Amino acid sequence: MKTILKLFGGLILGGLIGMFIGGLIVILFTDTTWSEYIQKYYSINVSEGLAVFLVAIGSLIVSLLIIIPIHELGHLICGLLNGYKFVSFRIFNWTFIKIDGKIRIKKFAIAGTGGQCLLTPPDLPLEKIPTGWYNFGGVLANIILLLITIPFFFLDLNPFLTEALAIFAMTDAIMLLMNGIPMQAGGIGNDGYNIKLLKKNILSKQGIVNQLRANALIQNGTRPKDMPDELFSNPKEIDYKNALEVSIPLMYASRLIDNFEYEEAKREFESLYSHKDEIMPLYVKEIACELAFLYLRTGNIEKAETLLDKDLRKYIEIYRKTMSSKERIIVAISLYLDKDEAKAREIYENFLSRKEQYLLQGEVKSDLALIQDMLKN
């Protein structure tokens, strides 16, 4: 109910903002004054008012459905022009992924994002790998889209069409500013922030380059333990508020799990978790998940129970359909916490039957091996 109320409230607010934006555009490009514009709302009947409201809502939805893919397309084109290679292209929950030279479609989602374009950096020394245009591509696409839209305001269009066009232009402008002005949200840097950061921070650049290369391998079915050693390092000093730097020890610790080095992995994840107040929330959730698994696997049941509170269990349940690691953790909970081997095997069999549905097949192979090891002991 709370979600429905939030959605309904958001639609109403969006409609009101749309009517305001529409009025602003009409006033800027016509002889209409604010008082005349407002008076028109008083003079229209209920059906006309409803039509204006519905057009505002519909325009906002359609705008997002158009602008988000174009933004990601900008990243794709600029990346390819700078020597990057295609890996995956996600719009909302739908992902176009290249596996064994063929494009396939799978479902995958990341909280807080409407799309994502992932490419593999060119095979160059770290300092020579270009990152600016790859990150700027989405903003550039928004700029071009806005420039294409503006001339239509000088045409004598239907009032509803003008309203829809105004909302489209403003939505594009807002996305342009939200991605172009350097900022962070929930610890995640936007395109502008990444451009600025990667210019001066070589460790951040190492983090994003290693992530992109590892992602390409894992989507094609390579387990972390089988990836090149140079993708995994463990720097002694990092800025824990910098998500790109944190990704480096996080990748290192995750690989230890794939190598069945549980005690060392536990020490690394404990070290990361001790900085939870600095690390971005999404990474904290992932660290807590893996630490809970390691506590269960090494007999620290009480510590595992402390971590596996209602909030973390809900997070695990939400993402079990898109992240195979969550199925591994649920099996561990059933085995070591609930002492229910039959349930653990049922979860494993169900996961096994759905393994091809997951996007990250290298992760799937790793999690299956880790589950099989649990079930045989």
The band of 2, judged by pLDDT with boundaries at 50, 70 and 90, is: low
pTM flag (> 0.85): no
Cα–Cα dist 21/263, whole Å: 58
The band of 357, judged by pLDDT with boundaries at 50, 70 and 90, is: confident
Q: Under a CB-based contact definition with an 8 Å cutoff, are residues 153 and 161 in contact?
A: no
User: Given a cut of 50, is residue 78 above it in pLDDT?
Assistant: yes
The band of 110, judged by pLDDT with boundaries at 50, 70 and 90, is: low
Cα–Cα dist 367/323, whole Å: 10
Instruction: Enter the DSSP assignment of 204.
Output: H
Q: Is 321 helix (H, G, I), strand (E, B) or coil?
A: coil
Range with top average pLDDT, 56-65, 161-170, 191-200, 293-302: 293-302
| Res 14: pLDDT | 67
Mean pLDDT, range 333-345, rounded to an integer: 95
| Res 1: pLDDT | 43
Give the least confident one: 72-76, 99-103, 111-115. 111-115
| Res 15: pLDDT | 65
| Res 293: pLDDT | 98
Around Cβ 87, how many Cβ atoms within 10 Å?
A: 21
Q: Under a CB-based contact definition with an 8 Å cutoff, are residues 266 and 298 in contact?
A: yes
Pick the CATH number of 203-376 from 3.30.70, 3.30.310, 1.25.40, 3.40.1130: 1.25.40
User: Given a cut of 60, is residue 154 above it in pLDDT?
Assistant: yes
Start-end of CATH 1.25.40 domains in the chain: 203-376
Mean pLDDT over all residues of the chain?
88
Mean pLDDT, range 43-68, rounded to an integer: 80
Q: What share of the chain in percent tops pLDDT 70?
A: 91
User: Given a cut of 70, is residue 6 above it in pLDDT?
Assistant: no
- Of residues 42 and 183, more confidence is placed in 183
Range with top average pLDDT, 90-99, 142-151, 188-197: 142-151
User: Given a cut of 60, is residue 3 above it in pLDDT?
Assistant: no
| Res 141: pLDDT | 96
Report which of 121, 100, 70, 111 is spatially closest to residue 231, judged by C-alpha positions.
Answer: 121
Dump pLDDT digits (tens) for 175-194. 999 999 998 877 788 899 99
| Res 255: pLDDT | 97
